[in-house]
Structure 1
């Protein structure tokens, strides 16, 4: 493993349609200590046989070492490596003829924060963003704004309150940033919900996926 680019050769678990035959892609990112197989369990609730589901495996089961609220430099070079890994999957999809507007990105916990950070730092029209307990990276009280146009990308942001890792105010701040970039963001706050993904969240995400696919320009 390259210590400067730890996720460069990360394996990618695939589910659903082959990339060469798929009409769209869903990239799913696992949480701290999790695995690609773990996060692909969500794919069964978000399943469409025409989609290719891709789940990269983070080196040492974590995308970056410290809290998403830590100074960004303390999460390097892992964070930049993780963002490059996702971008390589976007490139792979483009080479197969699948543009960003037919690519969904989502994740849980650390993977949710990484998903949010990727979309904000690589702005384009995506099929959808689904963040199951996460938000943009950076210490509380600092500027987390990004530049660029998300061109109406639908985004669902779910979180319990209180959550042991993700403060609800950061979810709200992240939603404000994404809306300013042109995303269509809906947030869902669940008082007292533990650090999990619920059936209700998956049902809401599945409905968004269904609507987005119906509007694909094929």
Structure 2
């Protein structure tokens, strides 16, 4: 069994059977699905159903996202599969990819970013708070597919102790190359957190997805 196979996917927001849009919220290292659902509640608009997968022992993969891919297996692949399961659950409820938002913080932002890069398609959006694509410097970024204008928000401090600014810049380039509509915002001296400007972006995106 993969590490995260038997972990739950929690739900919040509008009931799935009556939702018109969906969000997959991915928690960070040491956090929980319940905690990131609370962030969803802060930006909620009626019609948005949230699914939040839970990582085993609250950690998607053991090492830094800058470490070798192999050193973070099998957690990394299992985590990506868990995100896919959540997306599939939304689609099975009749919500199209164009109305599905992927959002994560820290390790969750890394996992959500890597999932979208590896599965490029037109989604409702990606919101990556303090994260980026996964792998050591020099990792080939030969991802296939097209985001076809998917909104991509990448927000991070210029002095984040966990997320090098160079990786944030690289992540923005990855999604630009995949035809994403990238909005990169670097915040001076913010630290490793989420600020009001970032939440305002997420709130506006949620509102737009349920009103389309």
TM score, norm. by length of structure 1: 0.94
Secondary structure of residue in 2 paired with 1:91: helix
Report the equivalent of 2:95. Answer: 98
2: distance between equivalents of 1:172 and 1:22?
Answer: 35
Report the equivalent of 1:81. Answer: 78
Report the equivalent of 2:186. Answer: 189
Query: Quick check: 204-213 or 38-47, which moved more?
Result: 204-213
Query: Quick check: 202-211 or 131-140, which moved more?
Result: 202-211
Q: Tell me how far 1:12 sits from its aligned partner.
A: 1.4
Report the equivalent of 2:23. Answer: 26
Q: Which whole-Å deviations, capped at 9, do the CAs of 1:66-113 have from their partners, x for residues lacking one?
A: 110001011111111111111111111121111111100001000000
1: distance between equivalents of 2:50 and 2:64?
Answer: 27
2: distance between equivalents of 1:202 and 1:24?
Answer: 18
Structure 2 gaps of 5+ residues are none
1: distance between equivalents of 2:48 and 2:206?
Answer: 10
- Asked whether the equivalents of residues 112 and 134 of structure 1 are also in contact (C-alpha less than 8 Å), the reply is yes
Pairing partner for 2:117 from 116, 120, 127: 120
- Asked whether the equivalents of residues 129 and 154 of structure 2 are also in contact (C-alpha less than 8 Å), the reply is yes
- Asked whether the equivalents of residues 103 and 127 of structure 1 are also in contact (C-alpha less than 8 Å), the reply is yes
Report the equivalent of 1:16. Answer: 13
Secondary structure of residue in 2 paired with 1:64: coil
Q: Which whole-Å deviations, capped at 9, do the CAs of 1:4-60 have from their partners, x for residues lacking one?
A: x11112111111111111101111011000011111121122201211111111001
Structure 1 gaps of 5+ residues are none
Report the equivalent of 1:35. Answer: 32
1: distance between equivalents of 2:207 and 2:89?
Answer: 23
Q: Provide the aligned length of Structure 1 versus Structure 2.
A: 212
Secondary structure of residue in 1 paired with 2:102: strand
